[in-house]
Amino acid sequence: MTDFVIAMGWVGIFAPMALGTIASAIGCSIAGQASIGAMLETESGYGRFVGISAFPSTFAIYGIVIMFTLNRAVTAENAGGLFGVGVLSGLALMYCGMWQGRACAAAINASKEKPEIFGLSLAPAAIIEGFGVFAFVFALVISAGIA
């Protein structure tokens, strides 16, 4: 049983990196596909579409930083904390990244039709980024209390 508990602690350490990277890949893919479609329908402004499609990449970075923060010797006493913080923050990052990709795709689709709303159309993606930052900061603060 102790080996299983310790294994769960290791899963917790690496979960934020894995789930954050999955989030970035899915989010960038969703936004990137919208970007490609917008490029076919417009004559210029391609750079902004590509830039927006890269927004969800930050969740991989957050996950890597959380992983390094959680990285320590795993014992039966700290495995539960490592698992809980790692998996839950990783799931929060994953959810944010996937939905941010959708918000970016919507911004791309809206701004190809009406370029003057480009900046304003990014507000939902920025709000979702804020929730990801909340999960990131929460994980960093809580991880300091894990032995």
Q: Which domains, and CATH codes, for the chain?
A: 2-143 (1.20.120.610)
Q: What is the pLDDT of residues 68-89, one digit of tens each?
A: 999 999 999 999 999 999 999 9
Task: Compute the Cα dihedral for 124, 129, 132, 138 and give only its sign.
Answer: negative
Q: Does the pLDDT value for residue 15 go beyond 80?
A: yes
* Tokens of residue 7, six digits: 């294994």
pTM score: 0.92
Q: What is the pLDDT of residues 114-127, one digit of tens each?
A: 989 988 999 999 99
| Strands annotated E in the chain | none
Residue type, 37: G
DSSP string for 63-103: HHHHHHHH-S---TTTHHHHHHHHHHHHHHHHHHHHHHHHH
Residue type, 140: L
Q: What is the pLDDT of residues 45-69, one digit of tens each?
A: 788 889 999 999 999 999 999 999 9
